[in-house]
Amino acid sequence: MPTNRYFTMISNIVEFVNAVTKAAKKYPIEELLESLRQTVQSCFCKNRDNAHCTFTKLATKYEKLLREMSHDVQNLKVSPASHTLFEVRDDSSSYMIDITKRTCCCRMSQVGQLPCPHALAVFATLKFDVFDFCSYYYTTDAYVNTYKEIVMPVGKRAKWSLPNDVKSIIVLAPNQKRSSD
């Protein structure tokens, strides 16, 4: 797989939904959906505020992670094999980094879509901007864009204005059939 982050995201979303719906699961369906909508609305608003207060190139969590990994760079020795292929060694191991393919044999860069400490050592040697090798999805721009939309309140059901063609639609559970079928 090009990236393996999907499993983490799905797991976090499922855990979030389970935690949020724990009390609401006993509600009738309309109240359950309204509770979920209110929760998403609140989360979007909170995350939008956090995103607009982030003044680094990457979202705070990933900026911090890069800083922590950069401490490991000091003990690494970089040897070029070509203009794009580098060997990075520490006391006990050797790693091959291809900067054009954005790969390292430790696979951390490919899985996390952030440079690993070995790649950071190469970028420091070449004086490259580390942020050019981070996934767009970790940037502050992506963070802001994720929460730019508004989850609109729906108001009281009695005040809804529905077109007649929508009012006439009958929705049945998947295992039911209309009496005329």
| pLDDT at position 27 | 79
The more confident residue out of 13 and 15 is 15
Paired strand residues for 80: 86
Strands 85-89 and 77-80, sheet pairing: antiparallel
What tens digit of pLDDT does each residue of 31-77 get? Answer: 888 888 888 899 889 989 989 998 999 998 899 999 998 887 888 99
Residue 81 three-state SS: coil
What tens digit of pLDDT does each residue of 139-156 get? Answer: 999 999 999 998 888 888
CB distance 50 to 153 below 8 Å: no
**Residue 179 confidence (pLDDT) above 70:** no
| pLDDT at position 8 | 45
Average pLDDT over residues 1-7: 46
- Confidence band (pLDDT; 50, 70, 90) for 1? very low
- Confidence band (pLDDT; 50, 70, 90) for 119? very high
6-21 and 29-52 helices, crossing angle to 10°:
130
Q: Which phi and psi angles does 55 have, rounded to 5°? A: -115, 20
Domain boundaries, the chain: 6-151
Average pLDDT over residues 86-113: 92
